[in-house]
Structure 1
């Protein structure tokens, strides 16, 4: 393990620094947007812009890499992202923020493709599962740490935006100065959505709905906090709880995933997410005898709602891989990433308009309702198809929802090969 980390420490350090900058800017959108008196609907469009750029970047970055190489693409995307972060303070208008968010989303998607290609090239099949888990932890710790940095400044001025830009700029130094060029990226085109749905209805519908949940949590969580009057420090804690739960809940959910019918685990995790959203909704007028401080149910709801989202993503990927032939995995992986991206674009739009129409606590109604749909559909699918025996399923791999098709395909192949190896030994 030590030798493995020593070979990729620069890449992991760079990822942590990038996520510090990116995590700061996500929360800053809600904080500064409240100061500029943007509506929830306007900020939802800004949020969706990021995921539109992210989906576009996933499609075109491999083409750019094949033309000019990893290093040039990586450096160019980092430069554009750093510049865009500073530009937020120059034009405080919803339309300009949306354009900048599209640019940042495109850049981040490309950065993930390049970084995950290097990561894949630096590992072997024996340690790939552990490396992907470490990579997930590095990303999540970066986002959580970013919320702590937000408490050091004031969103009303440019300092925090400049700080995020600096973090992104310096993150590329350890990577570009130490990582060897990786082989050209060759991603299979996403499979036809109809074929994807035929292969795994639950995986397709679940990934789409989960995309809307993840984008709404990460993009609209700070907006929710601003609209209910939380302080900047409380909002930072709230967003940190959304991502912190994933670090702890991945382990028990992953353990269950390798031992039970995955549809039952998906149903249970989604149900837990829905119940936690009910707790968040209750926070608008909590009974004093139960919650003397309304922050308690809010933070608890964030911990469990956010904590079930990332494991659900990995669960749905694993379940889909269980039901498709190995030769179809590249196209299926690309299709799942594309489907997740569509949900991530649409979800915040519905969330923003719901919050404008029903009030800020519609945040929990929309999230809880979406979790409930996933749970109910998983329950329904259990009556439509026989379960794959646990002994024949691929291994569960920790993956964050922001993973590119490179990591998703890599994880699918590793899980399948690992399962075959365990079956041969058994």
Structure 2
């Protein structure tokens, strides 16, 4: 595992820096729009448009990455995301910011698809669960740390937009400077939402509702905080409590969901979350800060856990071979909920005030709890030993489908490049010429040359040691990687 982590360090570093920029902009935008005097309804529309872009990106990112490659697509999309943030600093215009939110959502979806495919390609059956856990921890750490940058300057200045743009530009550097050639992405067919609903009505509905809840609370929480004068560094701590709760509560919730009827666990958690949310609204006017922070952390943590609980509930009703195709539909349901959440919540807040946010969330959670009870009456509980294991998932990401330990693991199949096929064909009749071809290819592209050398090493008429000694002189910086590919001790 240590070797895998070292090889993925540059990717984790890029991910952390990228999420730091996203964490800053997620807090900055609602605060800035509120300061600019925009109505809560307009703020909700602008924030909802991010999930429109996220949905478009989730649908088309795979084909785009296949066309341009992972590293170039990651660099291009993150750079375009930085441009969208910097454009927001030029004009305080809701239409411009809404358009840029769509661009940002699209870019982030493509970037996460690239990162998660890379992680899946670099992990084995034994390590991918640990890789997923580290990945989720890095994502949440980036979000947690990023929103503290809002204290560097006034939200009314443009400096914070520039800082967020700089962070996203820096995030490109570790990946593009990595010696990793980039992964191979696999496409999976998606199970239709209609079919998935027939198999697991509760899984689909709760996933859709979790998208509404998550997007509403984490986008509009700064607007709620402003009404009770939670600003500046205190706002960072407040948002930090929400993110911390989203991370910490995954562990006890996962423990309980694997040992009891998952629907019962979900029902109880929804009641606790709704109660904690209402407590926030009652305690905030009293100025009891620590209690407000604690109650917010609890309700935000439970809301964040609703997504992985929804996925696991759906997987309980599926065959092993159907899990991957079903997960992509679950992501779609969550994204649709994400589009609806901020806007619907903003309508309520615009009419009844910022304090209505938690009342709205509590009502939605109680409606979902009623649906849970209904499903418990029409279908018997699955035996505990037959339930799928709970897996920590970050709702902000695209679920890391290929990394999920519950899916069937398939060793990545790398299609041989044309240079490999040609050189191997030549080697069957003229080994010396094949080695010379490999050297020419290595001069142009070191990684491609190593692939060709690895293919030649499998042939009986090739002297592997001579091949290594000759090629290592051509690409001395990659001698260690070449030695590993040729399996030379």
TM-score (ref. length: structure 1)? 0.92
The answer for unaligned runs of 5 or more in structure 1 is: 287-292, 419-426
From 355, 364, 383, the counterpart of 1:361: 355
Aligned to 1:19: 19
From 337, 345, 352, the counterpart of 2:339: 345
Relative contact order (alpha carbons < 8 A, sep ≥ 6): 1 or 2 greater?
Answer: 1
- Residue 362 to residue 242, structure 1, CA distance change in 2 (3 Å): same
* 8 Å CA contact 1:69, 1:184 repeated in 2: no
Aligned to 1:392: 386
Moved more, 43-52 or 147-156: 147-156
SS of the residue corresponding to residue 378 of structure 2 reads: coil
Aligned equivalents of 2:181 and 2:270: distance in 1?
Answer: 41
- Summarize deviations over 1:35-72 as a string: whole Å, max 9, x none: 21111111101111101100110001111012121122
- Summarize deviations over 1:236-272 as a string: whole Å, max 9, x none: 2221111110221111111111111111121122222
Aligned to 2:370: 376
* 8 Å CA contact 2:324, 2:407 repeated in 1: no
* 8 Å CA contact 2:17, 2:167 repeated in 1: yes
Aligned to 2:181: 180
Shift of 1:139: 0.5
Aligned to 2:406: 415
Counterpart mapping for 1:73-112 below 5 A: 73-112=73-112
From 304, 317, 323, the counterpart of 1:310: 304
Aligned to 1:228: 228
Aligned alpha-carbon RMSD (Å): 1.6
Residue 327, structure 1, aligned to residue 321, structure 2? yes
Q: What is the number of residues matched between the two proteins?
A: 408
Moved more, 240-249 or 368-377: 368-377
TM-score (ref. length: structure 2)? 0.81
Aligned to 1:46: 46
Aligned equivalents of 1:374 and 1:263: distance in 2?
Answer: 11
* 8 Å CA contact 1:132, 1:397 repeated in 2: no
Aligned to 1:421: none
- Summarize deviations over 1:325-363 as a string: whole Å, max 9, x none: 222223211111011111110111111111110011111
* 8 Å CA contact 1:62, 1:187 repeated in 2: no
* 8 Å CA contact 1:147, 1:237 repeated in 2: no
Aligned equivalents of 2:265 and 2:377: distance in 1?
Answer: 15
Aligned equivalents of 1:376 and 1:335: distance in 2?
Answer: 24
- Residue 295 to residue 202, structure 1, CA distance change in 2 (3 Å): same
Aligned to 1:150: 150
SS of the residue corresponding to residue 283 of structure 1 reads: helix
Counterpart mapping for 1:210-229 below 5 A: 210-229=210-229
